[in-house]
Structure 1
Amino acid sequence: MAHIALLPFGSAGDVFPFLWLGRLLKKRGHRVTMIVACIFEEVARKAGMEVIPLGDAKVFEQLIADPRIWKLYEGTKMVFEFAGQSTETFLEPIEQRQGTADAFDLMLAPCTAFGARLARESLGIPLINVHLQPAIMISAHDMPVLLPGMQHFNKLPLWLRQWLVKLPNPADRFAAPMVAKACAKRDVKPPKSLWWDWAHSPDGTLCVFPEWFAKPQPDWPEGVKQWDFPLEDLATEQPLSEELRRFLAAGEKPIIFTPGSANVHAKRFFEVAYAAVTRLQKRALFVTRKLDQLPPNLPNSILPVEYVPFSNVLPQSAVFVHHGGIGTLSQGFAAGVPQLIMAMAHDQPDNAWRLTGLGAGLGLTPRSFTPDRVSSALERLLNEPAFSEAARACQKLTLARRDQAGLAGWIESRVS
C-alpha cells in the first residue's frame, strides 16, 4: 500500500475535508500522514491520522486575530502572503523523508500549499490538487463572484471575460516572490504564473463540490475529477452535549448562527443576531469558538456553544445563518434548511451567489447585515415555502452520494 501525504492549508473548514479523504484512504489500507498546522494536530490524531505538526500556534492565532483577514482584498492578500511564507514549512518534512522508509508516494494538497507543488517538481512525487470551492476554478464561462457586483461580469462578451480572468491575480502578486526563492534553492525553474501554471497539478485535480452546484466549464484544465461535498465535521468524535440535547427538545426549532470557526471578530454579527431573534421572538443557537464576543446576559431562549457538529444539529433547526464557508454551506444543504449568508471575503461571496441562484437561501453583505435586514430575511426564509422547497431539493442532491470506491480508485491510479 502507498504512503500518502495530506497537506491542508487554512482553518478548520479547510482541514476537515482532508480528514474525510484520510479516513477513506486509510480504509483502503494506505498509510496516511497529515502535514498540518500544529493547532489541528489533536483533531487529526483523533481521526486516526499520523501527523506532522507545523509552525507555532501563536502565529496562527495572530493571523486570525487580525481583522483584515475578513476584509475583501485585504484578506486575500494576507492569505496568499502567508501561503508564500509557508512554502518551505510544508516542503521540508517531505524532503526529510525522501529516500527513507517514510518517503511519500503521493500528495494531496490545495493549490495554496505551494510546498507540495515544489516537492512534485523537485522530487518527482505525484500531486493531486484538491479544490474545495468553485471560486478556485477561474473560468471565463462562469466567472466567480469574488466581489460585490461581479455577477454582472457573466453578461459581458466571452472575449472580454477571457481577457478579464487573465489580469494580475493575488497568487502572483503576493506569494510568487517567496515561492521563487524556494525554487531557486532547489534549481527548479519557477512558474511563469504561480496561479495559472501551478494551481492545477498535471497529475490530477480533485474538485470536492458536485456538478449541480458548479457545472464543469470548457476552459477547466484537463484531469479534473469532480465529486460530492465531503461533509466531514467530526460528528463521530464530538457527540452533542446533554445541555444542547435538552435545549433542542425544549421548544421550537432554533435559528442557528455562526460566523465561522476562525472568526474572532464577530461581536457585531452576534449583536445583530440577538436583536433579530428578539424581535421575531425566536429561539437561537450561537456557535463561536470565542464566547466573549457574544452579548452579555443572553436569555434562556439562546444557547451559546463553542463547537457543534452541524450534521447532528442542523436537521433540528429552522434556518441556518453563517459566513458562507463552503463546508458550512454544504452542511446546510445536507440538512435541507434555508440559509442566510453574510459573505465577507475569499470564496464566500461566490458561495452566497450560488446559494441564491438555487433558491435555497438569501445573502447579505456585512454592511447590509443589520437588525432590520436580517429580521426581514429571516421572516422570508421562515414563511415563504419556496425557500424550504428549494432547500429540500438541494438536500436530496447532496445526499445522493456516489460510491467512494470510485474516488479512491481514481486517487490510487495517481500513485507512483
Structure 2
Amino acid sequence: MPSPTSVQTIVMATHGSFGDLHPFIALGQALKARGCRVTLATHPDYAAKVEAAGLAFVAFGPSREDYVRDLRVNPAEIIRRLSNDHGFMIKRLIAPYLERSIRDIAPYVAEADAVLGSPFAYGAHIAALLAGKPFTTVALQPTVMMSSYDPPKVRQAPFIFEPSGELGRAYNRLIMAAGEQIMAASQSQVRRVYRKYGLHPRVGLGGIVSDHRTLALYSPLLAQPQPDFPPRTYLAGFPFYDSENGHAPVMPERLLTFLNEGPAPLVFSLGTAMVYGGEAYYRTAIAAAKRLNRRAVILSGPESPLLKEEFGLNICVVPYAPHSLLLPRCELIVHHGGIGSTAQALRAGRPQLVTPVFGDQFDNARRVTLLGTGLRLDFDDFTVERAVMRLRQVLYSDKIAAAAQAVAPLIAAEDGAERAADVLLNARNVNTLAA
C-alpha cells in the first residue's frame, strides 16, 4: 500500500444528502489508512456519523434546522422547490450561507496540504484559493462534467445525446452556453462573493471548475471519459460506504425476519432527502405491490407517518436499511436515481425501476436504461396504473435481469476510494482519464 509522499493533511468538503456524504467518507477512510490526517467538513447534522467513521469533523454550512427556520417551510416543501426550480439549491440553500461556510473552513484549509470539494462546495474552493492551496473538484456523477460529447439528461435542455460529429457537439455547446446564461441569475450571489475576495469565479453549470485536478468518482460503465473534460481529470470508479450511523452496517431485526419469511420483495427507496416528500409516492408503491401480489419493503425515512400504520403481512415499512445488505436480497429495486442509490443498485445485480425527481437523477436514470439494467418512470408519473405496468415490464424481462447480473461483478470490483487515494498521493501508474 503506498504511503503519503506529498499530501499528508487533507480537508474535504461537501453539501447534500447521504449520496453526497458517503463517497467522501469512503475516500477519507482510504486516505486515513495511508497515514493522512483527514478532516471532513459538511452539514452539522452529520457530525456524529463522520466522527463514528473515524474522521475529524468540521461544521460547514447550515443544518436542516437552519434551512427550515430561514426558509420558513418544512423539509417536504424544500424538496418540492428543489424539484421545480433548477436554481433553488444555489440561490436558497448555498449562496446565503457562503460567507459563513468560508469562515467555517478557512482555519482548517490554512493548515492543509490539499483541499477537496464537491462541485458546489464554493466556500471550500474560495478558502483554498485565498490560502494558495490546491483544490480538487470531486464529481460524484456524470451530470456535472457537462460534456458536449456525452451531455447529461436534464428536464429542459434539448441535447443531442449521441452527437455523430462536430456539428452535433457544437449544437450541444450552444445549449450549454444558453444554460450558463439562464443559471447566471442563480449564481450571481456566488460570483459576487468570489469577486469580493478578488477571485475569478470559475464556476459553471456543473459547479466548480478546478484548474488543479478533477476526480470523477463514478463508474466508467455509466460514462466514459470525454475529450472536453477538464485537464487532469481522473475517473476512479464508485467509492462504496454504507452505514446509517458510521458504524458497521446492520440489518434491522424486523426487516431481517421479514426477508427470511418469504420470497424476495420489491424494494422502494427515495434516498435520504426525497423521503420528506414521499408519503404519497410510498402509498402508491404499496398499492402497486399489492396489485402485483408482491412482497415489498418501503424505506420510508424516520419521520414518515407510514411507520405507525399496518399494511398487511406482505409489506414491511422501515426507516432505513443498509443498501449493501438489503438490495442483493430483493427481486427488484425501485429508487429515485440518486447516484448513491444507483451505485448500490448496480452492485446488487438486481433489475431497477428508476423514478427520477430532480437534478442528476434524470441523467442517472437514462444511463441505467442505456446499460440495460432497468427502466425509468418519472416521479410525477408514478401512479398505481403506470407503476404496475412498468414494474411488470421489468419483472418479466429476462434481458434486464441478465444485464443487471452481468454488470454487478464489474461494479463490485471497482474501488473508487482506493484509486482516488492513489491519485491524490501521487502513486505510480495512475493514468489521467483512466478507469
Residue 107 (structure 2) pairs with residue 96 (structure 1): yes
Amino acid paired to 1:89: R
Residue of structure 1 equivalent to 2:209: 200
Residue of structure 1 equivalent to 2:229: 220
TM-score by length of 1: 0.91
For the Cα contact (< 8 Å) 2:79–2:277, is it kept in 1?
no
Deviations 1:308-335 (A, max 9, x none): 1100111100000011001101100000
How many residues are treated as equivalent by the alignment? 408
* Root mean square deviation of aligned Cα: 2.4
Given the superposition, is the C-alpha separation of residues 333 and 70 from structure 1 closer, same or farther in structure 2, using an over 3 Å criterion? farther
Residue of structure 1 equivalent to 2:138: 130
Amino acid paired to 1:323: H
Amino acid paired to 2:287: A
The 3-state SS of whatever aligns with 2:421 is helix
Pick which of 342-351 and 163-172 moved more: 163-172
Pick which of 148-157 and 130-139 moved more: 148-157
Residue of structure 2 equivalent to 1:65: 75
Given the superposition, is the C-alpha separation of residues 221 and 133 from structure 1 closer, same or farther in structure 2, using an over 3 Å criterion? same
For the Cα contact (< 8 Å) 2:240–2:417, is it kept in 1?
no
Structure 2 Cα separation of the partners of residues 269 and 83 of structure 1:
28
Task: Return the offset for 1:234.
Answer: 1.4
Residue of structure 1 equivalent to 2:86: 76
The 3-state SS of whatever aligns with 2:400 is helix
Structure 1 Cα separation of the partners of residues 150 and 27 of structure 2:
27
Amino acid paired to 1:231: F
Residue of structure 1 equivalent to 2:56: 50
The 3-state SS of whatever aligns with 1:281 is coil
Q: 2:365 aligns with which of 330, 352, 355?
A: 352
Task: Return the offset for 1:349.
Answer: 0.5
Residue 341 (structure 2) pairs with residue 332 (structure 1): no
The 3-state SS of whatever aligns with 1:42 is helix
The 3-state SS of whatever aligns with 1:315 is helix
The 3-state SS of whatever aligns with 1:343 is coil
Given the superposition, is the C-alpha separation of residues 149 and 158 from structure 1 closer, same or farther in structure 2, using an over 3 Å criterion? closer
Residue of structure 2 equivalent to 1:277: 289
Amino acid paired to 2:221: W
Task: Return the offset for 1:243.
Answer: 1.5
Residue 243 (structure 2) pairs with residue 234 (structure 1): yes
Structure 2 Cα separation of the partners of residues 66 and 403 of structure 1:
33
Q: 1:312 aligns with which of 325, 338, 341?
A: 325
Pick which of 227-236 and 369-378 moved more: 227-236
Residue 264 (structure 2) pairs with residue 258 (structure 1): no
Residue of structure 2 equivalent to 1:408: 421
Structure 1 Cα separation of the partners of residues 159 and 388 of structure 2:
25
Residue 399 (structure 2) pairs with residue 399 (structure 1): no
Given the superposition, is the C-alpha separation of residues 41 and 345 from structure 1 closer, same or farther in structure 2, using an over 3 Å criterion? same
Task: Return the offset for 1:405.
Answer: 4.9
Deviations 1:121-171 (A, max 9, x none): 211111111010100010111111011684655457222122111124365
Over the matched positions of the two proteins, sequence identity in percent amounts to 28
Structure 2 Cα separation of the partners of residues 51 and 330 of structure 1:
25
Given the superposition, is the C-alpha separation of residues 275 and 20 from structure 1 closer, same or farther in structure 2, using an over 3 Å criterion? same
Residue of structure 2 equivalent to 1:177: 189
Given the superposition, is the C-alpha separation of residues 262 and 400 from structure 1 closer, same or farther in structure 2, using an over 3 Å criterion? same
Deviations 1:18-63 (A, max 9, x none): 1101110110111111111011111101101111124344124567
Residue of structure 1 equivalent to 2:432: none
Task: Return the offset for 1:260.
Answer: 1.9
The 3-state SS of whatever aligns with 1:231 is coil
Structure 1 Cα separation of the partners of residues 145 and 357 of structure 2:
20
Pick which of 249-258 and 227-236 moved more: 227-236
Deviations 1:283-341 (A, max 9, x none): 11100213215694311211111111100111100000011001101100000000001
The 3-state SS of whatever aligns with 1:367 is helix
Given the superposition, is the C-alpha separation of residues 308 and 8 from structure 1 closer, same or farther in structure 2, using an over 3 Å criterion? same
Pairing 1:355-366 to 2, within 5 Å after superposition: 355-366=368-379
For the Cα contact (< 8 Å) 2:347–2:407, is it kept in 1?
yes
Amino acid paired to 2:142: P
Pick which of 144-153 and 279-288 moved more: 144-153
For the Cα contact (< 8 Å) 1:145–1:350, is it kept in 2?
yes
For the Cα contact (< 8 Å) 1:114–1:179, is it kept in 2?
no
Give unmatched runs, 5+ long, in structure 1: none
